[in-house]
Amino acid sequence: MADRQGDLHFDELSKVRLMSGDLSARTQEMKDECKEFVDKMGTFQNLAGGFIGTVDKLSNAVEAEKLKAIGSRNLLKSIEKQRQSDQQQLQALITEKKLQLERYRIEYESLLKCEAEQKEFIEQFMLQS
């Protein structure tokens, strides 16, 4: 039980206090709430820091994968261009070989004709002798 005498107060144990017991209790309660708030803020900051760190790591990993994907895409384009170039070269070689084959076929037919003429000449020469 507290008695009031001026600005001095006496608590249940008859100790002299500058504040009333009610005000002292509310002050202690507010102090406890502030400590709890500060503790919760510290926990929040730790969680937020961990989250930010995780997001940064994930961001770096995504960026690295993005660069790898761009590199792979460029390599694929390069391979495609090389394949097209090789295909054009092979197509040109096929055309060249077809022309060469046609020349050989014409030459072969000419040689067959020449052979036939020579055989005919030999037969006529043998008949005349």
pLDDT tens track for 2-60: 444 456 666 666 676 666 667 777 888 999 999 999 999 999 999 999 999 999 999 99
The answer to whether 21 and 11 are in contact (CB under 8 A) is yes
- pLDDT value, residue 76: 96
- pLDDT value, residue 25: 77
Mean pLDDT of 89-103: 98
- pLDDT value, residue 18: 63
- pLDDT value, residue 70: 97
Burial of 104 (0-12, 13-18, 19+ CB in 10 A): exposed
